[in-house]
Each structure stands twice: as C-alpha cells, then as structure tokens.
Amino acid sequence: MKRYIAFFLSILVLATMTACGGQPAANSSPSGEESSPVFTTDPQIPEQGDNKPVGTKDPEQAAGPDLAYSELVERFRTLVSNPFGQDSDQPGEMGVLEAARAAGDNAVYEMGYRIEDLSGDGIPELAVGSRSGVTNALYTLVDGKPELVFEGWYRSSYVYMGDGYFYYYGSNSASESGQGVFYLTKNGTGLECESFLFTGLNSDGDLEVYRNETGSWNPAESEKADMTAEDFWALDTPGDPLPLTPFSGTDGAGAKESRVPVSVQYLTEAGDVDCDWVTLYDGPDSCCILFTTDSRVTDFTLLDLFAEDFTETGAVIFSATPVELDEERDSLPSVMTPDTPVAVQLIFPGDLPAYGISYVDAGGKLRRFAIDVSGYDGSVLLEEADPLETQFILPGKIPGS
C-alpha cells in the first residue's frame, strides 16, 4: 500500500554506523590476513621521523615514468576490466580487485589511475583507485622499478588531500572506527602519521574518542579527544578527489545510469515522499533507505541474506531468499519505474550484509546486489553478487576480526 512518510533520520543513520556495525574492520585485508590498519610495504606504521628508504631513488627515474609504470597500468586495466574472471593475492592488487568487483560492469568507468609526483621528491607516483576519491594502491619508483607504498580497501581506505597528504578511514568493529591524516615520507616510499582519531569503549562501556600522532589503536597509547562520537562522524575530509584517467579510456558519462539503473540512499530529508514501503525491522537502531531507478525494471525483490560459507579467495557464499512481506503494511511495485521509488526500514546488524535486492533490467538481465554500508564514509551502497555464479557470492567480503 502507498504511504506518505515524513522522517528526519540523520540520528538513526548515525546509530546505524556506530551501533549497527556499519563500519568495516580496518585490520582485515581482502584476503583475510591480519595487517596494520595503515597498510604499507612494511606492516608497521612508521614512527615520526623514520624516513628510511627501501631502496635508492634517483630523480633521473622521472624521465620515463609512463614507461616504467606501463606494465603495471595494463595489469590493473586487465583486473578492472574483468574483475569476476580472475583472482589475485598480490599486495596492491587485492584492494583494486575488491573495488572493481563492487563496481561491477561500471568498474572500467568508475576506476582509474594517475601518474604524478605526489611526494615532491621529483619521482612520480602511480595512484590506482576509485574516481570518487578512494586510493586503492599507490606505487613509487625505486631503482627504476615500481614499488608498493600502501594499499587501501573496503575496510581500510585512503583519500588524497593534496600536497602528499592522505585521509584515512577504517574500523575494527562496530565501536572501533578511525580517521586520520597521513603523509608521504620525503622519499615517497612510506606513510607517516600526523594525527589520528579513533573511537572505543571505556571501562563503563561508553563510547569515547581518542587521539594520538602515531596511528595506534591502543587507548593506553593515546589521550581522550575533546569531542563526542557525533563530532567524530561529522568530520569532513578536506580537498578534492585525485583526478584519475578511467581504465575505459573515456569518462563513461552516463554509463553508470544505463548499466546499473537502481540506486539507493538514506532517507534523511524531512518531507512527504510518495513511495511503496516495506518494513524489515522497526526497532531502536533501524534506519530508512530509498531505492530509485532511472529506467524501467521488473521483478524487483528484497532478499534475506545469510552467510553460509567462504571460498579460498575470501569470497562469501550467501543463501538468498525472497523476503516474506507483511501484506497489511508492505508493498512492492510489480514494475519499478522512476515514478515508483521504494522505501525500506531495516537494520545493518553487523559487518556482513543481511539484506539484498534483485531485479531484471531493461536488457532482460537478472541483477543481484547486497545492501551494505561504506567503510569510507558510512553511506549506504549496493554491492553486486558475482554474475557468473548461480549462488549469491560477494567476492572479497571478509568479516571483521
């Protein structure tokens, strides 16, 4: 049945990210191995002033950076062009492959690379990541050869701020989330911490915000910050996304809209929204999300997801069954159009998604997605299940430790 709704749910969105475990674990790599929350070629976060080079960097290397990085760029282009058709456990490739699988058919348009001197030492770096801002891998040239500086992924991500600085987002659990400013060392071969904030529970079980200048997640090595959890989540990242060249070779304008018609966002604005409504959970930590489409789709279905098994590559195999709707209060359109949005009230109970959707697009293709929360900015997102598998499989989805 149709409902007219008037919600202002920013508080519930906050509750989702803090109490519902919406933030992913920073110390879990896409392969499931333990690593530092700030992933570098050395698994330890460098101490202040530690500028040891891994090798010798010669400014003359800058003469042909495109050639030096060309093989690596083509390797990433191959991974992004066919993310579901291959696997990788190579450092630097895992985060890129995970992001490409999340982007699905749009990966070659949404992901790209840039060769630029970010550290200021005269040697250009190679950045690979999402054109929306997240850097999944950064390389520099050492002895004329590419060397990984750091890797970012769903649960431990970096956004470029300019002048060699990166903003870090990550989380170890529902109560432990971190944000910080890191910068490239003078020789560009590592990251150092300038400031780091993270949340954690005190002895009374209350959420506190801590700060330090080392990148440590240990409250004993930090001091309490003069801010609330709400202040922590309200922090904005300065700077603009690093402009990347898409792997498609074109900017792909309009590609996302035509390839993935259905999108999702939090329903946080006050006012009446005329839409179909489904209640999956209406408890104290619930939130509301809104599905919209820019083109006609059929067989729009909400799914219950339950993790049943893991593959050797860290992908999660889910059971996916249609949600049983309450006929008295729930309603889904048989055909979804731009004029028939769908609102869903639900909860994000942990690190792994509990709900998903499926529909048939205009080309007659069945599309299946998990409903999840971004570890980068807490936004709600859709992650596509492997289209080559009959089972509902999300590649690289590792639960928090």
| Burial of 166 per CB tally in 10 Å (0-12, 13-18, 19+) | buried
Give the tens place of pLDDT for each residue, 88-118: 888 999 999 988 988 887 888 889 999 999 9
Residuewise pLDDT in 10s, the chain (401 residues): 433 333 323 333 333 333 333 333 333 332 333 333 333 333 233 333 333 333 445 544 444 677 889 999 999 999 999 888 888 888 999 999 988 988 887 888 889 999 999 999 999 999 999 987 889 999 999 999 999 999 998 778 899 999 999 999 888 887 889 999 999 999 999 999 999 999 998 888 889 999 999 999 999 999 999 999 888 888 876 667 788 999 987 544 434 433 678 999 998 654 456 788 999 998 888 899 999 998 889 999 999 999 999 887 778 999 999 999 988 888 898 899 988 999 999 999 888 899 999 999 887 889 999 999 876 567 888 999 988 788 999 876 544 43
44 close to 75: Cβ distance less than 8 angstroms? no
Give the tens place of pLDDT for each residue, 129-142: 998 788 999 999 99
- Nearest-angstrom CA–CA distance, 360 and 366: 4
Q: How, if at all, do strands 392-394 and 316-322 pair?
A: antiparallel
According to the model, what pLDDT value does residue 396 have?
A: 61
Give the tens place of pLDDT for each residue, 295-318: 889 999 999 999 999 887 778 999
pTM of the complete model beyond 0.75: no
Query: Which residues are CB-contacts of 279 (< 8 A; sequence separation ≥ 6)?
Result: 326, 329, 330, 344, 345
Longest dimension (CA), the chain: 72
Residue type, 131: R
- Nearest-angstrom CA–CA distance, 147 and 397: 26
- Nearest-angstrom CA–CA distance, 164 and 322: 47
Residue type, 233: W
Angle 322-326-332 from CA coordinates, rounded to 5° = 60
